Structure 1
Amino acid sequence: MARNSTMRKVSLRNIASHKLRLALTVLAVVLGTAFISGAFMFTNALSNTFDSAVNSAYSDVDAVVSGEEGAPGVTVEQRESIDGEDMVARTNVTASTTVVVATGGAEDPEPIQTGGGTSSLTIWYAPEDVVGNPIEMVDGSAPETAEEVAVNAAGAENFGVSVGDELLVVDPETRYEVTVTGMYEQELDQGASLMISVPENVYLDRYTDGTHAGELLVAGTDGTDPQELVDYLTATYPELGVETGEQLAEEVSELISTALDFVNYFLIAFGLVALLVGTFLIANTFSMIVAQRTKEFALLRALGASRGQITRSVILEAFIVGLIGSALGVLAGMGLVALIKAFMASQDAALPGSGLGLSTSAVIVPIVLGTVVTIISAWAPARKAGQVEPVEAMRSTEASTSQPLIVRTVAGVILLAVGILLGLGGALWEDGTTANRAWLVGGGALSLIVGFFLAGPALSLPIVPTFGRLIGAPFGAIGKLASTNSRRNPRRTSTTAFALALGIALVTVIGMLGQTMKNSVSDLLESNISADYVLTGPTTGSFPTPREVPQRAAETDGVAETITYSSIPVASDGIYSSSFGPGGGVSNVIQGDPADMVATEAIEGTTDISEDGMIATESFAAEQGWSVGDVLELTAPGISPAATDVEVVGIYEDNDILNSSVISQGAVERLELPNDITQILAVGVNGEEGIDMDQLRANLEDSVADLLVVQVMSQEDVTGMAGQSVNQMLNILYSLLALAIIIAILGIVNTLTLSVIERRQELGMLRAVGAQRRQVRTMIILESVQIAVFGAVAGVLLGLFLGWAFLEALSNTGIENIAVPWAMVGGVLVGSLVVGVLAAIFPAQRAAKTPPLDAISD
């Protein structure tokens, strides 16, 4: 017991006496655990915000009544009947419509840009008539006519709207001017969105079909139990859906929580990558520390300490370092979340009611994980420390002798070969399923990574010193010395470079994926879009193309034909078939010849449904059992009892845009459906023969300019926009992977700093025989550059092979024409030189300041 107590004191004093070494090791743990902790907290914060919003929306709501299945809400008659029930005090219709709001009136409109928020039009209810979330009029008066609106006060302040202002409102149907008569406050409103409200009768008249009122929020009379009210309404109106507000809030919160799980897993995955990279840094650090303390361990062994005690003392140090680093990582995670929230608030996307997202899992999991990883990383060095013999205390130096690399090199080469074979197998196995091919590539990636880790020291021996001599040639003897130093400890050089190689390999794979996706999307759109121009509504949000666009486009000078592509809730033989796949409650409808807008190659029959009929892709027709000449029943379930027949007039090759079936507008018009259920997705335009395309574009832009929301896009514009979406996704991934690169850079700093400490006598001797400080700095920088470039080159080669194999395995999913982002690869290699220089600044300064006589006397 006394011995154990003594060894604990030795461990604690050792940690306290090497503060720099402690700080560098702790930092690696902090970065990995901070990301994991931050991921938990951020998703908790998001969940808290949504829960607060949902609970606020349904607080004091006794019952929520929805319409029959497939219907857009309860009917007007059902709403009037529910209002008349003795147990019902009042009802509110809950509905909103996305709009675009502009200041300056119709003459000189200036759209209000809401950024991450939205502009929406809702129904105004006086505070005493509201069911649910209470509101308060804080300025002006309530709207009473169709030309008057009330605006949320926080949004009005944010976007510069005042009482008395004239606003232009653009909706999918039309545009009109209104006057702001009042401002109101609502719980949790942070002003990121602009909400304008109109009287109920105005909204129902403008934005419903006249038959359906929408979903109802119901308040019971005083003393009525919500569940009792729900039971009564369910029994009285069995065709309607009825729930308590509390039940609906729980269901919505659960759906949101499920959706946010993906975000959490995604962020945690990158946190684990960072922790994996940090693991090698921690292991490398402990290996160097053990090597430097050989004499110390030998003296302890000579004084009676057992092997187990030495091993346990190092494990204890690792436990303390892991615990401190993980705890600091949780605090850093809190700071990270606070920074993200502050940034989101600056972008008008605040998270009200979220807090920092602290939870038991957000604290305990990172601490336990970080501590365990640190202990595992230190296990091998700890065992090595326990194997030190007492005789080692008599040696004059602590420098570790190099150990044979034969066994690990052979194992590494075998794993590298296996990894290459698995990668090639997954890439070239054309008859295999995508899942099986991906598993092979994944196994190959794991084998390659482990193989490179094992064989790295042997691989570095012929490469790193050779490169070192090349870059060191201009620096004479100092350059040669730096090259020799990098050869002295290949294990350390390779392990340090490995962390950087792993991060850069991931960046390269994702870069190849992104470049290939951009090229594939561009090729897809360019080969499928046949129209000269495509007119659409805003590319963000749920705002469709205004209904006036087809007519305005058709009347524009230089336009030969227009094709209107819509989404309408109609079904063929009960089957919905939109471009988003079967189901979903809507189908593709086109007015005109689809081939004039989207490239469609007929296999049988015709693709021209300008007058009547419907067409389907070969695979979708086979799946449904349809053939040319079949007559199907066209219906609008839940909207209209009417039905009509539509004939399948053509089968066309599978298409990536119209990937199921298309119904003619003429057939749908026979159902006599209300206009407001049609969503125009896009309008294709083809110019007259000989017209200048730039002039045609200018004419189209003039025709739709006052609609404010319509974009005129060429094929190049559409493909460019798709490329921007891919770039946004990649930027997020690169930002997350940057953490792994940062940890790898810290690994180089750590290794060089510990190397400087280990080589104190050597550096002192150099200074004593005349080496200048700048020469010592140059030597350390050259060593760092060698390590960084070796890691970068290895990472790029691994990434290129794995990226190629992975993309080949996904070829069955439509990803073709594999592209390599050569500019990024070149940037990575050049950047590695910069990384090597930056990482060496602190260790080089420390080495240059080594006092010659003190170092020699040590």
Structure 2
Amino acid sequence: MTKVSLRNIGAHKLRLALTVLAVVLGTAFIAGSMMFTNMLERTFDSAVATQYKNADAVVEPGEDSSSVPADAADDITKLPTVERANLVGSTTIVAATTDETAIQTRQGRASAAVYYGPDDNVALAPEIIEGRAPEPGNTPAEAVLNANGAEFYGIEMGQELIIVDTGGRERYTVTGFYDDETVQETSLSFLLPEADYREFYVAPDTVPGLLLAGPEGTDPQTLTDEIASAHPELEVRTGEVAAEETSKSVREALSFVSYFLIAFGLVGLLVGTFLIANTFSMIVAQRTKEFALLRALGASRGQVTRSVLAEAVIVGLLGSVLGVAGGAGLVALIKQVMQRYNMDLPAGGIGFALDTAIVPIVAGVIVTVISAWAPARQAGRVQPVEAMRASESAAPQPLRKRTLAGAALIAAGIAAAVGALLWEDGATADRASLVGVAAVAVIAGIFLAGPAMSLPVVPPLGRLIGAPFGTVGRLASTNTQRNPRRTSATAFALMLGIALVTIIGMLGASMKHSVDTVAENEVGAEYVLAGPDMAAFPIPRDLMERLPEVDGVGAVAAYTEAAITVDGEYSATLGEFGSTTVLYGDPGDLITLEMAEGSSSLDGNTVIAPRAWAEERGWKVGDTVTIAAPGISPLTVEATVGGIFEESSMLPAVVVSADAATQILPPGAVNIIMLGVSGDGTVDSDQLRANLEAEVKQDIVVQVKSKDDISGEVLDLIDQMLFILYALLSLAVVIAVLGIVNTLTLSVIERRQEIGMLRAVGTHRRQVRIMIILESVQMAFFGAVLGVLLGLGLGWTFLTVLADQGLEQIVIPWGLVAQMLGGSVLVGILAALWPANRAAKTPPLDAIAD
């Protein structure tokens, strides 16, 4: 029986290739996902290892501080057990040419850090490949720059640059270029002498942290314990521990990327599962005589079943191994594509490791065997007498049990979805989980009840589509009706892919509508001034005083966030960190607020809050609240609730006045993130923008944007996200299309006699091609309709549950729906071309003789 299985696989190479391809596509994505994450982890591990290489101890601020006192740092560096000490620190900056034109770093970043030469560096000194090392105390300051970044942005040796940070501006002269493969070419990484770095970017009497190395033979743990006992207020770790903990946090951050990609790989494998199961079912049906003959020769049921499973193991193993190779190719392709769009990934190979091969191979084999289990058991049940039958493939199979089970699952899924909608008091996460359960139940139900559902839909659809083609059209309709299981299974894979695309399309359309609505209805300012990447870089504080003097400027308000609490609560929290919105001026000049009580003005020690926030805490206008900065300052200040406003998407929680915040925070701790400006009516909008741009040109980091500019940036981000999701989901659609090709090809092989008879009685080759194409279009269109209906239903339910997250209005992307329905017809035609051509070439007499 083992020989029979192996020879059977070898004798049907086309059938083998089609089945293996389904496994390859699913496992390639899982393998590629794991390799991609592994590659990123290796890159970061390498960077971390380089950073802490040769470091015996790492000294960092304690829990209640953001820096190390300079006197403590001096004490530590003077210890006889410390030979070399390096300052640890990096400051985000914006670089500009001397004519004040900012260098836009796109997907990269610009930063300044400390340069140490080979004799002074605790870790590895950067290799200067051109020019010389920077020297301290010069004006302008000297710095070396990563060579790949200098080449990318056209920065030359000896060039003078303006460097802006949150505290002001400096000037650098580039004295050399260094090589560092961990720095992307789209980033600018300046290294300058320690004295200059401390003068420009470190607060007086502090240092950000220290890397320490002792004389040869120093025990890192002994040195760490010595420093920790003398300075218990600081965090002191060995270099090895610091590297391990940093790598661990990086891996945890990257795990999301891994889970996200693997989730789409599993979707592809799930769709592939139905394709594999469908393929094996057809193979078993075609080989009924073969199995019956084996049974007549003495093979037991178990032997026949095991022979089919053995074939599945071989197919799964072969497909998974090829899938791992495909995954490696996928990673290489991603790197090339990202490089083309100036998003270079650091050099780190393709991330291949033992686990990136074993996991996809095991998953692929298991999925293939599970998919083949039911067909294998069906093969074992073949009776010897069936070898004498003339035909068996079209024998009807009862659908009653699976239809009832499917209907029950669909009903349970709908009930779960309705329950999620009615459970208005439940947590959003719990309600969304219930929708997920509903989705699984409905999908499983459609898979089981699909054959029965296809009977009243596909034949009439087939007659409608085939009407212009006469008898050939009617034949195509009859063929899809004869085997509803096959029709449904083939359409199901496409349905699943299109349902996911529909859900993502609804999410994207609703998000876009929400952004447009907020920008149109809630942004009150005529222009918004912010740093690069919309508030990622703070802007100069003196703008609040300068802007009112600009011609045409009326009201000015500023937005920022600070780590302060109001009655012990932050506006927003992320893990153990929290922040509260702080506003300068009247927020009504920046954001359109509908006041329920009091005023939106934030003069003096004042807070304002949304109605829901205030009611939950029992606040009324005139009440007193306490503002504090835990972990930063021991001071507190009393503030008055000055106003309560209706719900706002832009201000969902309490807002504190800048006057109150600055009383408890250290000087310079509150950076302005965004400024809103409205005109006074004396100049038109275009002139106001020109005046604002002229005023902030010297600041380099400030960009002037209209409401349309802001919403356009957000919409571009949404489009990028959707593009990535559609690209990933396209894998499932590709597998589904291959499923149609597979089904039709096997169907043509199975119906060889029938097609030969049609040719013998006068059917032209062109007519045979049309018949096969029409069958494909029927199945593809049926799958698309089911997918759209399922996607719209699940998408609407899911977005309704997420209404309190800002997606209040659900938008159906009718254009996308029309494209998918029209595209399904095209998919049906393209998928049928090869099988149809193969059917048309069937020799009539040879086929009848078979």
State TM-score, norm by structure 2. Answer: 0.94
1:3 is aligned to none
* Residue-by-residue CA offset, 1:407-454 (whole Å, 9 max, x unaligned): 322332333333333323322443444344334433322222122112
Secondary structure at 2:457 match in 1: helix
Q: Tell me which residue corresponds to 1:368.
A: 362
* Distance in 1 (alpha carbons) for counterparts of 2:642 and 2:322: 68
In the alignment, structure 1 residue 388 sits paired with structure 2 residue 382: yes
Could you tell me how far 1:637 is from its partner in structure 2?
6.2
Aligned partners of 2:773 and 2:829 also within 8 Å = yes
C-alpha deviation, 1:663, in angstroms: 2.9
Counterpart for residue 558 of structure 1: 552
Write the distance in 2 (CA, Å) between the matches of 1:83 and 1:303.
88
Query: How far apart, CA to CA, are the structure 2 residues paired with 1:382 and 1:176?
Result: 75
Aligned letter for 2:749?
Answer: I
The SS at the match of 2:456 is helix
Structure 2 contact 572–579 (Cα < 8 Å) conserved? no
Question: Contact 2:555/2:679 (CA < 8 Å) preserved in 1?
Answer: yes
Distance 1:88 1:622 in 2: 59
Q: Tell me the residue number matched to 2:608.
A: 615
Q: Aligned ranges for residues 204-603 of structure 1 at < 5 Å? A: 204-352=198-346, 354-539=348-533, 542-570=536-564, 575=568, 577=570, 584=577, 586-603=579-596
Partners of 2:275 and 2:51 lie apart in 1 by: 49
Percent identity (aligned): 55
The alignment covers a number of residue pairs equal to: 847
For 2:650, the equivalent position in structure 1 comes to: 657
Report the Cα distance in structure 1 between the residues aligned to 2:436 and 2:630, rounded to whole angstroms: 46
Contact 2:637 2:664 in 1 (8 A): yes
1:807 aligned to 789, 793, 799, which one? 799
* TM-score, scaled to structure 1: 0.93
- How far the C-alpha of 1:777 sits from its partner, in A, is 1.4
Letter in 2 for 1:772: H
**Aligned AA (2:592):** A
Residues 749-789 of structure 1, C-alpha deviations (whole Å, 9 max, x = no match): 00000011111122222222332222221111111111100
Distance in 2 of aligned mates of 1:421 and 1:587: 41
User: Any stretches of 5+ residues in structure 1 without a counterpart?
Assistant: 1-6
Partner amino acid, structure 2, of 1:768:
A
**Superposition deviation, residue 43 in structure 1:** 1.4
Cα distance change on mapping 1:416 and 1:649 into 2, 3 Å: closer
Which is further off, 328-337 or 203-212? 203-212
CA separation in 1, counterparts of 2:649 and 2:69?
38
Alpha-carbon distance in structure 2 between the residues aligned to 1:700 and 1:838: 56
Return closer, same or farther for 1:146/1:668 CA change in 2, 3 Å cut-off.
farther
- Pick from 5, 8, 12 the counterpart of residue 14 of structure 1: 8
CA contact (8 A) 1:49 1:351 kept: no
Matches within 5 A, 1:684-703: 684-689=676-681, 691-703=683-695
Q: Against the structure 1 CA distance between its residues 342 and 732, is the aligned structure 2 distance closer, same or farther, given a 3 Å change threshold?
A: same
Aligned equivalent of 1:4: none
CA distance in 2, matches of 1:623, 1:461: 56
SS state at 1:679 partner: coil
Q: Distance in 2 between matches of 1:263 and 1:183?
A: 33
Of 753, 756, 771, the residue aligned with 2:748 is: 756
Q: Please name the residue that 1:791 is paired with.
A: 783
**Alignment-mate amino acid for residue 395 of structure 1:** R
The aligned counterpart of 1:832 is 824
Task: Tell whether the 8 Å contact from 1:482 to 1:780 is kept in structure 2 after alignment.
Answer: yes
How far, CA to CA, are the matches of 1:400 and 1:622 in structure 2? Answer: 69
Match in the other structure for 2:78? 84
SS at match of 1:474: helix
Deviation per CA, 1:186-220, whole angstroms, max 9, x where unpaired? 46445342111222222222223323221122222
Mapping of residues 814-853 of structure 1, within 5 Å = 814-853=806-845
Residue 93 (structure 2) aligns with: 99
Number of the residue aligned with 1:74: 68
Name the stretch that deviates more: 11-20 or 134-143.
Answer: 134-143
* Distance in 2 of aligned mates of 1:762 and 1:246: 73
CA contact (8 A) 2:572 2:578 kept: no
Q: Which moved more, 1:796-805 or 1:771-780?
A: 771-780
Aligned equivalents of 1:70, 1:626: Cα separation in 2:
31
Cα distance in 2 between the residues matched to 1:672 and 1:331: 56
Whole-angstrom distance in 2 between the partners of 1:466 and 1:117: 57
Match of 2:108 in 1: 117
CA distance in structure 2 between the aligned counterparts of 1:788 and 1:649, rounded to whole angstroms: 62
2:130 aligned partner, one-letter code? D
Give the whole-Å Cα distance in 1 for the aligned partners of 2:510 and 2:133. Answer: 55
Distance 2:361 2:647 in 1: 52
Q: Which deviates more, 16-25 or 376-385?
A: 376-385
Which of 765, 775, 798 is the matching residue for 1:773?
A: 765
- 1:190-209 maps to which residues of 2 (within 5 A)? 190-209=184-203
Relative to 1, partners in 2 of residues 1:184 and 1:819: Cα closer, same or farther, differing over 3 Å? same
**Which piece of structure 1 moves more, 642-651 or 466-475?**
642-651
Give the Cα separation in 2 of the matches to 1:634 and 1:805.
Answer: 41
Shift of residue 348 of structure 1?
Answer: 4.5
Query: CA distance change for structure 1 residues 450 and 665 in 2, over 3 Å: closer, same or farther?
Result: closer
Q: What secondary structure sits across from 2:174 in the alignment?
A: strand
How far residue 647 of structure 1 moved from its aligned partner, in angstroms, is: 4.2
Instruction: Confirm or deny: 8 A CA contact 1:37 1:362 kept in the other structure.
Output: yes
How far apart in 1 are the matches of 2:733 and 2:364?
Answer: 19
Alignment gaps of 5+ in structure 2: none
Indicate which of 132, 137, 151 corresponds to 1:141. 132
CA distance in 1 between counterparts of 2:5 and 2:249 reads 50
1:681 lines up with 2:662 in the alignment = no
CA contact (8 A) 1:48 1:353 kept: no
Contact 1:522 1:722 in 2 (8 A): no
Q: How does 1:738-757 map to 2 (within 5 A)?
A: 738-757=730-749
Mark the CA change 1:62 to 1:353 in structure 2 (over 3 Å): closer, same or farther.
farther
Give the corresponding residue for 1:128: 119
Q: What's the CA shift for 1:529?
A: 2.3
Per-residue Cα deviation, 1:280-316 (whole angstroms, up to 9, x for no partner): 1111111111111111112112222222221111111
Letter in 2 for 1:153: A
SS of 2:533 mapped into structure 1 = coil
Letter of the aligned partner of 2:570 in structure 1?
S
Partners of 1:552 and 1:704 within 8 A in 2: no
Query: Amino acid of the residue matched to residue 821 of structure 2?
Result: L
Report how far residue 560 of structure 1 moved.
0.6
CA distance in 2, matches of 1:550, 1:133: 44
Q: Which residue of 2 aligns with 1:151?
A: 145
CA–CA separation in structure 2 for the residues paired with 1:612 and 1:432: 37
Q: Distance in 2 between matches of 1:77 and 1:403?
A: 86
Structure 1: how far apart are the matches of 2:665 and 2:535? 29
C-alpha contact 1:576 1:582 (8 A) present in aligned 2: no
SS in 1 for 2:558: strand
Whole-angstrom distance in 2 between the partners of 1:394 and 1:441? 51
| Structure 1 residue 399 displacement after superposition | 3.0
2:625–2:639 Cα contact (<8 Å) kept: yes
Matched residues in 1 for 2:808 and 2:535: separation?
30
Residues 777 and 847, structure 1, Cα contact 8 Å, conserved in 2: yes
Given that 2:108 and 2:184 are in contact with CA atoms closer than 8 Å, whether structure 1 keeps it comes out as no
Deviations 1:602-632 (A, max 9, x none): 4554331134433344555677776655656
Query: Residues 801 and 80 of structure 1: is their aligned pair in 2 closer, same or farther, counting only changes over 3 Å?
Result: same
Counterpart Cα distance in 2 of 1:42 and 1:168 = 37
Deviation at residue 636 of structure 1 after TM alignment = 5.6
